[in-house]
C-alpha cells in the first residue's frame, strides 16, 4: 500500500527521458512507486510534456504534491543546441552514435545563452555565450559556418560586436555580484555521484599484456553537501596473469598475497551490484551516476573484464561522467591556462586540494575525485553524462530482464 500522503508536502524527482517517448514503467517504478504514483500515467505525462523535444534526451523534474505529479522540463545546453539545429528526429534505438553536423547562427547561440544564464556563474552574457559555444563544439555543429572555438576566441578578444545586456540581465548581474557569496550552486541533475576508479594488472614491457581488474572501489558523494556517505572496496584475483609484476606492485601498492586471497571477478561484481542496489533501495527517490577520471574504467576496462569473466552488466554501469570534461569547462570559464597533462594531480593542484593517500590506490583516488567533483559543483559547473556504451556493446553485454 502506498504511504499516507501529507497533502501539503511537495517532493521533487529528477529524471532523464527521451522527448516524446513513454518511459518504461520498470524504469520509473523504483523512483515514483514509493510515492504512490502510477508509473504508466507519469510516463504518459512525461511523453506529452516533452513532445517538442522529440528524440532528444532531456532532464525533467516531477513536482509531486498529494500524489499528483506536474512535469517540468529542465533543458541542458546541449539539448537546446541540438533542438535549435532543427534536425529530423532520429530513433536512438536504431541509429548508433548519432552525430550532429548542422550550423547555428551566432544570434541563435546568444538566444540559448540568455536562456541558460540563470545556470551560469559567468558575470557577463559574453561568458555564457562562450560556454554555449563550447557546447556547440562538443555537439559537432558549426556557428556562422565557422568552428565554435574560433568564434569563442573572437568573442573573448572583442573582435565580434556583442549585444548590450537587457535591463533584466543588468539587474540580475548586479544581484549576482552582490549576493554571490550567499548563493548556493544551482540544482544538479544528480543527487549522488558514484565515484569509481579501477586498478588493474599491468606491465611496463609487454604491450600485449592482458589487463584485469584487481581493485574495485566505489565512493558515494552527496552532491548537495560534499559528504562521502558510503564506500565499497574489494580486491579481485586475476586469472590471466596471476602473478603481479613488480611494476604493478610499485604503481598500485597492491601486494601479491592480497589478490591471492581475493575473490574472482564475478563474485566481486555481484557484491558491487548489491552495494549499488542496496544504496538505491535506501534512497528510492534519488538519482545518481558513476564518475570516473577518464573514460578508461567504464568504456574500456569493464567491458573487457566482463567478456573475459563471462558476466553481464546492468545499465547503470554503462554511462558515466568523465570528470575531466567538466573540469575543462571550469578552466575555460575561469580563463585558467593549463599546459600540463590533465590528470587527477593537476586538478587537485588547480583547486588547492591535498592528495589523500597515495595516487593509484583505487580507494584513495576515488576520495580525491570526490573532492574534485564537489569543487566543480561549488563553482557552478553542471555535471552531466559525458559517455556511454555503444549500442553494439549494450546488445552484447547488457543484463537481460
Instruction: Give 293-317 pLDDT, tens digit per residue.
Output: 999 999 999 999 999 999 999 999 9
Q: Which of 131, 215, 280, 360 is catalytic?
A: 360
Query: Cα–Cα distance between 32 and 42 in angstroms, integer?
Result: 9
Given a cut of 90, is residue 31 above it in pLDDT? Answer: no
Residue, of 308 and 333, whose pLDDT is higher: 308
User: Cα(71)–Cα(46) distance, rounded to whole angstroms?
Assistant: 6
* Angle separating helix axes 344-351 and 324-334, nearest 10 degrees: 40
Q: For residue 100, indicate whether it is catalytic.
A: no
For 131-184, write each residue's pLDDT tens digit: 899 888 888 899 999 998 888 888 888 777 655 444 444 433 433 343 333 334
Specify which residues 217 forms β-bridges with: 233
DSSP state of 182: G
pLDDT of residue 123: 67
Express each pLDDT in 88-126 by its tens digit.
Answer: 776 656 666 667 778 999 999 998 988 887 666 666 788
Instruction: Report the alpha-carbon distance of residue 132 to residue 160 in Å, rounded.
Output: 16
Measured CA to CA, the distance from residue 289 to residue 276 in angstroms comes to 11
Q: How far is CA 75 from the centre of its chain?
A: 15
DSSP-based three-state secondary structure for 233: strand
Single pTM value for the model: 0.58
Cα distances (angstroms) measured from residue 348 to each of 115, 352, 357, 359: 32, 6, 13, 12
pLDDT at residue 276 tops 90:
yes
Instruction: Tell me which residue of 48, 7, 9, 20 sits closest to 285, measured CA to CA.
Output: 9
State the catalytic residue, choosing from 21, 199, 212, 384: 199
Asked if residue 362 has pLDDT above 50, the reply is yes
pLDDT of residue 283: 85
Instruction: Assess whether 360 carries a catalytic annotation.
Output: yes
Percent of the chain past pLDDT 70, that is, above it, reads: 86
Amino acid at each position: 500500500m502506498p504511504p499516507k500522503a501529507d497533502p501539503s508536502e511537495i517532493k521533487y524527482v529528477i529524471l532523464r527521458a527521451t522527448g516524446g517517448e513513454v518511459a518504461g514503467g520498470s524504469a520509473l517504478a523504483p523512483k515514483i512507486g514509493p510515492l504512490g504514483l502510477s508509473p504508466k500515467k507519469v510516463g504518459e505525462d512525461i511523453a506529452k510534456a516533452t513532445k517538442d523535444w522529440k528524440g532528444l534526451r532531456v532532464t525533467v523534474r516531477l513536482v509531486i504534491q498529494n500524489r499528483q505529479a506536474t512535469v517540468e522540463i529542465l533543458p541542458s545546453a546541449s539539448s537546446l543546441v541540438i533542438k535549435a539545429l532543427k534536425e529530423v528526429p532520429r530513433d536512438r534505438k536504431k541509429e548508433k552514435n548519432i552525430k550532429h553536423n548542422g550550423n547555428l547562427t551566432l544570434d541563435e547561440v546568444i538566444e540559448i545563452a540568455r536562456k541558460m544564464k540563470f545556470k551560469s556563474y559567468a558575470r557577463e552574457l559574453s561568458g555564457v555565450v562562450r560556454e554555449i559555444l563550447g557546447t556547440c563544439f562538443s555537439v559537432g555543429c558549426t556557428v556562422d559556418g565557422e568552428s565554435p572555438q574560433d568564434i569563442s576566441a573572437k568573442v573573448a578578444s572583442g573582435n565580434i560586436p556583442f549585444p548590450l545586456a537587457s535591463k533584466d540581465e543588468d539587474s540580475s548581474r548586479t544581484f549576482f555580484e552582490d549576493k554571490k557569496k550567499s548563493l548556493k550552486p544551482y540544482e544538479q541533475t544528480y543527487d549522488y555521484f558514484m565515484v569509481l576508479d579501477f586498478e588493474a594488472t599491468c606491465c611496463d614491457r609487454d604491450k600485449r599484456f592482458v589487463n584485469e581488474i584487481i581493485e574495485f572501489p566505489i565512493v558515494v558523494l552527496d552532491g548537495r553537501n560534499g559528504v562521502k556517505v558510503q564506500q565499497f572496496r574489494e580486491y579481485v584475483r586475476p586469472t590471466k596473469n596471476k602473478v603481479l609484476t613488480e611494476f604493478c606492485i610499485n604503481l598500485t601498492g597492491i601486494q601479491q598475497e592480497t589478490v591471492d586471497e581475493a575473490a574472482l571477478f564475478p563474485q566481486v561484481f555481484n557484491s558491487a551490484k548489491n552495494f549499488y542496489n542496496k544504496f538505491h533501495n535506501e534512497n528510492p527517490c534519488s538519482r545518481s551516476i558513476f564518475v570516473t577520471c577518464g573514460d578508461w574504467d567504464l568504456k574500456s576496462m569493464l567491458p573487457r573484464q566482463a567478456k573475459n569473466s563471462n558476466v553481464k552488466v546492468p545499465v547503470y554501469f554503462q554511462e558515466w561522467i568523465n570528470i575531466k570534461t567538466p573540469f575543462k569547462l571550469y578552466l575555460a570559464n575561469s580563463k585558467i591556462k593549463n599546459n600540463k597533462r590533465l590528470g587527477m594531480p593537476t586538478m587537485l593542484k588547480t583547486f588547492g586540494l591535498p592528495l589523500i593517500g597515495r595516487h593509484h590506490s583505487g580507494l584513495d583516488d576515488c576520495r580525491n575525485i570526490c573532492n574534485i567533483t564537489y569543487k566543480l559543483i561549488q563553482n557552478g559547473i553542471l555535471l552531466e553524462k559525458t559517455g556511454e556504451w555503444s549500442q553494439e556493446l549494450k546488445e552484447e553485454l547488457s543484463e537481460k530482464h
